[in-house]
Amino acid sequence: MPELPEVEFAVRRLRRAVRGREIAQLRAHHPSQRRSLTARVVAAVVGRRITTVERRGKHQLLHLDDGALLLVHFRMDGDWVFDRRDTALPPHVRVTLDLADGRRAVLVDPRALCTLTWHAVDAHPDLGLGPEPEDPALTPAAFRARLANRRGPVKTVLLDQSVIAGVGNIYAAESLWHARISPRAAAASLNAERAARLLAGIRTALADGHVNAGRYHKGERLIPFNVYDREGGPCPRCRQPVRRIAQAGRSTYFCARCQAR
């Protein structure tokens, strides 16, 4: 599943391809998209220019010149393909965004869970997101304060996008390993020193992720995961076998020695 680094990589590609361009056509190719991309929405979008493209958490925001917003989420398996409008469509196409310059952005997704929705200027959605983890304004003290009033184990709290934006199952596990904090520790129990270590761990894990982000869907990483999806493999720090447990229905990978409670 794409997390913050993969979405950031996608947004940079998308920005290069569409920023400043006029939309010539918007077409849904799957029933899941036709519900949101109605004839009224298409009529509102065609002829508009895309002024900026930004990422918030795992959302992609395309701002149009009339103040409206196209909001994209890859969910489990979405991705962009950029090509020319006169070439054959790639497999698993869900939405095509034709540009007036003859190019095209194609939203592809084998599982058809990705979303693309339109929001008028006066109806921008509240995404309910906490701060971006890489925002320098997010200090260790501010991060600790965000954890302090949350119930539950820190791993599960990190997945709450209103606490911190863009951290998913992979980078939560990797961050806690970097910080040497048990995924079962209560989020509210972290003292200032451990909260600072966790914030640094999140940033280290995401920095590794940015190195790998271009490999999303290609199945190989330039920097391997330390614990994620490595049950039974040696912890890179202490060689203890990596353990897997379930928390809130999701797998958590960690080293029971480095990340003792």
Q: Which residues are catalytic?
A: 2-3, 58, 250
The smaller minimum CB distance to Zn ion, of residues 4 and 179, is found at: 179
Q: Which stretch binds Zn ion (CB under 5 A): 38-46, 102-110, 216-224, 235-243?
A: 235-243
Kindly write out the interface string for residues 21-40 of this chain, putting x where it contacts Zn ion by CB under 5 A and - elsewhere: --------------------
Instruction: Tell me which residues in 116-145 interact with Zn ion (CB under 5 A).
Output: none
227 binds Zn ion (CB under 5 A): no
- Residue 176 beta carbon to Zn ion: minimum distance, rounded to whole angstroms: 12
Number of H helices, E strands in the chain: 7, 10
221 is a site residue for Zn ion (CB under 5 A): no
Q: What is the 3-state secondary structure (H, E, C) of 169-219?
A: HHHHHHHHHHHCCCCCCEHHHCCHHHHHHHHHHHHHHHHHHHHHHHHCCCC
- Asked if 192 interacts with Zn ion (CB under 5 A), we say no
Cβ contact 71:60 at 8 Å:
yes
Among 56, 203, 237, 244, binds Zn ion (CB under 5 A): 237
What does residue 176 show for φ and ψ, rounded to 5 degrees? Answer: -65, -35
Q: Is there binding between residue 257 and Zn ion (CB under 5 A)?
A: yes
235 lies in the site for Zn ion, by CB under 5 A? yes
Which residues face 25 on adjacent strands?
98
255 counts as binding Zn ion under rule CB under 5 A: yes
Rg (CA), the chain: 20
Q: Scanning the structure block, which residue is given the tokens 């302090």?
A: 148
Q: Is 103 in the site for Zn ion (CB under 5 A)?
A: no
By CB under 5 A, residue 176 contacts Zn ion: no
In angstroms, how far is the first alpha carbon of the chain from the final one? 28
258 binds Zn ion (CB under 5 A): yes
Q: Which of 86, 78, 84 is nearest to 104 (CA)?
A: 84
Tokens 């720090």: give the residue: 237
One of 238, 248, 251, 260 touching Zn ion (CB under 5 A): 238
Q: What residues does 54 pair with on adjacent strands?
A: 61
Chain residues binding Zn ion by CB under 5 A are: 235, 237-238, 240, 255, 257-258
